[in-house]
Structure 1
Amino acid sequence: MFEQIFFLASINDKKIIRWLYERYHKIFLKYINEQLHFKFYTLDIEANDLKTVIYEIFLKIFQVSKIKNLNQFIGFVKRQIYFYLVYLLRKALSNKNLVNQLNSNNFENREAISENLDDVSIELNNKFLIHELLEIIYKENLLLYHFTILIIKGYTTNEINKILKINSTKTYYFKSILKKYIKNLL
């Protein structure tokens, strides 16, 4: 029975998707409540606020994949709900960080500025050392220079291997050379 229902939903039959939503949305509201109380308790939203999101997830799932049974359907929807809650949490955290950053940029608080002067001088010293290290590496080994730049930007070794088209042994070799340069600089 469900196989035929899911087939009709996969050809974008809105009535079937609406029927599935009316029948099963309470399961997902309960799941959202559990997630909001245990994992995502910092979010200031209610499960009922996400009813439209559940319906949109239903539409998205039937457009993207072919579902064959009820357990697969429930698993896909729960997974998409979890990803959406993670998205909301990251968005909330970035908004809080933005507010904190704006508050920290308030120049009326002179005490905070004087305390941060030491941190700024340490940061400038570190930037100078990194710049000096990059100049030395650039003069001696151009491929190692690009490798170092990618590490500074936060790429993983697998991504660096793909970008520079080198194998993992070469990556470990570059890491060891880079450690030697850093020891010599310090």
Structure 2
Amino acid sequence: SSSDAFGAAFSTDNIYSPEQLVFQFKSFSTLLAALQERVSARLPPPGASALSNASFLQMINYIDTHYDRGLSLGELAREMNLNANYLSQVFKKETGKTFLKYITDLRIEKAKKMLDSGEHSIGEIASALGFNDYFYFLKTFKRVTGLTPKQYKHGYAAPGVTLPPASDP
């Protein structure tokens, strides 16, 4: 079949020249048909689960270990061997968040834990979480939490949030 020829032509062992591909497939339309067949074979059938639980957990694990170095949706798609647009849709469906919102929330949650520990300066935290621009980190933290990192570190409540009175021991 044409997809077998396509698979053979594009295996890691044999990289064909354009001339060899034309000879292998006899025509450009045959090559395109084989390519379409190969691409559609990678998409899940309509109505099927978007990603297996194992694949989804693998994806979340990859995000959790690479969020601090500017992980992009394109990089994640390459790692998962999926189309970026498709992955974006699946991600939103499975998590209820866009990829960017998920990464941002993850980074801010990590920042809050680091601030709570009191062991790091705000600049160190921004850098450790992959924010190349200190001021962008401040702006993002405030947008997500309602507080600046300094306010958060010193225990201020977000606007509109009232804290219960401290109880006497």
Both proteins in one fold, TM over 0.5: no
Q: Which has the larger radius of gyration?
A: 1
Q: Which fold has the larger relative contact order, with Cα–Cα distance below 8 Å and residues 6 or more apart in sequence? A: 1
TM-score scaled by length of structure 2: 0.25
TM-score by length of structure 1 reads 0.24
